[in-house]
Every structure is written in C-alpha cells, then in structure tokens.
Amino acid sequence: MAEIIQRDGTWTFDGDTVRIVPGGKAHPVRQELGEIAVPLEAVAGVSFEPDRKGGRLRLRLRGGACPVLRAADGRLKDGADPYALTVEKDRTGVAEYFVDEVRNALLIEQVPDTPVDRFLLPGPTLPVSGGGGDGTASFDGESVRLTWNWKAEESKTAGGASTFPLSRIAAVRWLPAIGLENGFLRFEPVEGPVSTPPKYDPYALDLWGMSKKEHTAVLVAAAVLMRLPGARAALDAPQASPALTKAAEPAAAPAGDHDALLRRLRELGELHRAGVLTDEEFSTAKQAVLRSM
C-alpha cells in the first residue's frame, strides 16, 4: 500500500482505491466534502508537480466521474480542489513513489482516460448546505431551500425563504466570484431560463468572494446536479462497463495465481508489440506484475 501523510491531508492507495482524507486546516470545500474513496476506474492519471517548497500531488479524474468537478467546471482553486495535495520538501520521494504505484495499477488494469457517461463518485453527503453573499443554500435530496440574510435585496426577502422541489429544477450552475465580478449559484426553473440578475433572482444566491466559505455552494450544485433526471438515469446504470470489466478480469485473480499473472504478462507483451505501450510503459507494467508474483 502507498501512503503519504501531510498537513494538507492524507492519501492512501491499496491497488484498487485512492482514499483521500483532508487535513485539519484544509479549504472549507474539502472539509465539507470529507473523506473521498476514488475507485481506480475513475482515475485518468496522476502526477507530482515539484517546486521550491516541495510540490503538489495531483489526481486527474476521467471526465464526468466526479459531480463536484462537473459542477465546478474547472473553476476550483488549487486550495479547494479535493484531488490536489500540497507536499512538503522532505516528502517528495514518497509522492513520486505514490505516483508510480497508481500509474502501474492504471497500466495493468488498462483503465482508459476517456470521459465516462455516469458519475463514478457519490458526491456530497446529504443534507448539504453552502454559503453565499446574500444567503445560504441547502439541499436534502428532495428540495432546495434558499435562506436570505440581511444583505439580500427586498425582491428576495419580501417572500421569505425560497423552497422548491427538485422536480421544478431544470439545471443548476455555480460560478465563483472572479476579481471584481460577483459569482452566483443559480437554479434554473423548468419554466425556462431567468434573465434577472442573480442579485434579484429568488432562484439564485449572489456570491461576492468575501470568504472561502462561499465556495461551499459548489457542493450544493454538485448534489443537485447528480440528482437531476438525466443524471439520475446514469446513476441507476450498471456500475461497470463491459470493456472495463473485461480489462480488469486478470487483476481480480489472487496475487498467488501465477497462471493469471502469466496471462497478464502475455497481454502486456502483445500490447507492446502492437505499439499500444511504449518501451517505458511496458517495462513499468511488467515490473509491477513481477512484483505481484
């Protein structure tokens, strides 16, 4: 098992799952999201990015595998990204070893790095809530509730808190505040898009970027997103594609099953001869199989 423990958090890999536990002073988004178990089939790649102070360990997921990343749409800062770990200078060797172990497993299991058509991670635990500049959003799996604070416009506070069932939501979008531009968490009703600015829209939180806590609104967006009708059908789909299951069959054999491991070596040799694996990739994967033997 590969493990790296840092103040920023702890990552472990047992050959099947990357388990991520945030540190005590991690960004609020990571704290609220809590421990994450990432199955190998959801991983597209892993890297270590060195710098003067140590570096950053980064897990790259297959497109569409994580509802939080889908809701964030590439807008999460590094501090809020649950799949990035700050590594101290004296632990860079451990980080590089961690990368090698995950990469070897990806090669052996032949996990593709292509996007998926369903979420492979469960997303935020319900109920979930997130702050905003003019209120708070919460979601219990069935209804969204927007509670306004004293900074909200009268067009929002006049009707009290806004509560609407999931069936009335057609889409959800999260945009963080960038520079002097406010962001928003907006729920688009099934009746059609709303042209009202988020500041006055009772279906939206206005995000001002005054606190890291505002970023937790992305967790509400993720929880709602994965339960919208289209995503719900994907979640109810079988948990493994036939191609991925077939690729993983030899790895399901016990470590002591030499016949299965020898078959894996032959498969790797065929992939190498066909040009699918480079010399370096073939050597790395072969050594990982030999260690299992």
Dump strand ranges (E) for the chain. Answer: 2-6, 9-13, 17-22, 36-39, 43-51, 54-61, 84-88, 128-131, 135-139, 143-148, 162-165, 169-175, 183-189, 204-207
Backbone angles phi, psi at 59, to 5 degrees: -100, 125
Mean pLDDT of all residues in 32-37:
96
Residue 273's pLDDT band (cuts 50, 70, 90):
low
pTM listed for this prediction: 0.77
Per-residue pLDDT tens over the stretch 141-161: 999 999 999 999 999 999 899
Which residue carries 């990357």 as its tokens? 18
- Lowest average pLDDT, out of 13-22, 72-81, 256-265, goes to 256-265
- Lowest average pLDDT, out of 110-114, 179-183, 261-265, goes to 261-265
